[in-house]
Amino acid sequence: MKVFVKDNLHMAEAGSYFRDSVKIEGDFLVPPRTHFWRDLVVTGKLLLGPESHVAGNVKCNGAVICHDAVIEGELDSGLEQLTVCDNAKVRVIKSEGDVLLRPEIVSAEVSGINILVVGKVQCGKLMGKNTRVITN
């Protein structure tokens, strides 16, 4: 599938699917309902669009994982802020920075420096130096 580049920002075509592992040098904007059948590596920030699916692992430097996205493997967001939005499913979430978890996300394990949980989530383990849960 085609990836468009403007300065340091890479953008995939809407409705794309990628059979092989993908490596992007810079920031990556992924439109809704994009499918990756293997790993995704982004040297910059990642915006994974709604209802997108990654069958492998994701490595990036900060990310927003939009609602209803699925990452079957491990998400490693490096030192930058990580936001996982409503109803997303990520097997393992790792960060060396701040993590914001929105309502109804599902994950077996979450680790980060500062973890803020907003609403009800389904997580096996929450491991952070500072963990705060805000419920309605």
Tokens linked to 72: 């079957």
Contacts of 62 by beta carbon, 8 Å cutoff, 6+ apart: 44, 45, 46, 77, 78, 79, 80, 81, 82, 97
Determine the pLDDT at residue 15: 83
Look up tokens 């990520």; give the residue: 90
pTM listed for this prediction: 0.93
Determine the pLDDT at residue 108: 97
**pLDDT at 117 > cutoff 80:** yes
Q: What is the pLDDT of residues 12-23, one digit of tens each?
A: 998 899 999 999
Q: What is the pLDDT of residues 64-79, one digit of tens each?
A: 999 999 999 999 999 9
Determine the pLDDT at residue 3: 84
Structural contact between residues 36 and 19, judged by C-beta atoms closer than 8 angstroms: no
Domain ranges of the chain: 3-134
